[in-house]
């Protein structure tokens, strides 16, 4: 019995090590932004599992281009519709939780979405909290260092007058 238990433990450890050595998995995110009377605001939402503040994001969709996936995630997770930039804005390393004690490396590619509309009814309504914050304040709330850097870069560039790329296309 002990031999079987030890063998089983070794097998689990080997599988976990292989999982952790794989190249980072890819996730696609939307950095939703809008101008209000109070200034530039970005959207952050809570993850469903850990309730951390994140951007709307998900796994690549085989039937969509990456920027279309970002627009779809923004709509499904937060009810956001707008103009999505077809060119990636940034990327950052992150970790995706698989279980409470196991996470895998991921690379998150971020696309800018200029918000035009916010639906009241959308697929994940009621499953997440949403906050519209100044990018600097959003950066102070998120846990992921890479996301914090992306938000601060966005704030800095917008403060210096840079705008959404001309390659923006209609998003969901």
Q: How high is the pLDDT of residue 20? A: 54
Share of residues in the chain with pLDDT > 70 (%): 78
User: Which DSSP string corresponds to the chain?
Assistant: -HHHHHHHHHHHHHHHHHHHHSPPEEEEEEEEEEEETTEEEEEEEE-TTT--EE-SEE---TTS-HHHHHHHHHHHHH-EEEEEESS--EEEEEEEESSSS-EEEEEEEEEEEEEEEE-SS-TTTTSS-EEEE-HHHHHHH---HHHHHHHHHHHHHHHTT----TTEEE--
Q: How high is the pLDDT of residue 167? A: 38
**pLDDT digit string (tens) for 40-52?**
999 999 998 788 9
Higher per-residue confidence, 132 vs 98: 132
Q: Are residues 56 and 46 in contact, defined by beta-carbon separation less than 8 angstroms?
A: no
Q: Are residues 34 and 131 in contact, defined by beta-carbon separation less than 8 angstroms?
A: no
**pLDDT digit string (tens) for 59-101?**
999 999 999 999 999 999 999 999 999 999 999 999 887 676 7
Q: Which fold has domain 24-170?
A: Nucleoside Triphosphate Pyrophosphohydrolase (3.90.79)
Q: How high is the pLDDT of residue 17? A: 55
**pLDDT digit string (tens) for 139-156?**
999 999 999 999 999 999
For the chain, what are the domain ranges? 24-170
pLDDT band at 8 (very low <50, low <70, confident <90, very high): low
**pLDDT digit string (tens) for 15-35?**
565 555 555 689 999 999 999
């Amino acid at each position: 019995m002990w031999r079987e238990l030890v063998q089983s433990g070794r097998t689990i450890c080997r599988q976990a090590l292989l999982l952790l050595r794989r190249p980072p998995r890819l996730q696609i995110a939307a950095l939703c932004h809008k101008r209000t009377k109070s200034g530039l605001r970005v959207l952050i939402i809570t993850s469903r599992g850990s309730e951390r503040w994140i951007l709307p994001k998900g796994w690549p969709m085989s039937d969509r281009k990456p920027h279309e996936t970002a627009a779809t995630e923004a709509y499904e997770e937060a009810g956001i519709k707008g103009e999505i930039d077809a060119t990636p804005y940034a990327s950052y390393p992150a970790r995706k939780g698989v279980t409470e004690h196991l996470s895998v490396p991921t690379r998150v590619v971020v696309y800018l979405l200029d918000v035009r509309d916010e639906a009241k009814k959308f697929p994940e309504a009621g499953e997440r909290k949403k906050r519209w914050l100044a990018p600097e304040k959003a950066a102070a709330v998120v846990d992921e260092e890479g996301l914090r850097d992306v938000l601060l870069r966005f704030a800095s560039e917008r403060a210096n007058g840079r705008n959404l790329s001309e390659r923006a296309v209609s998003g969901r």
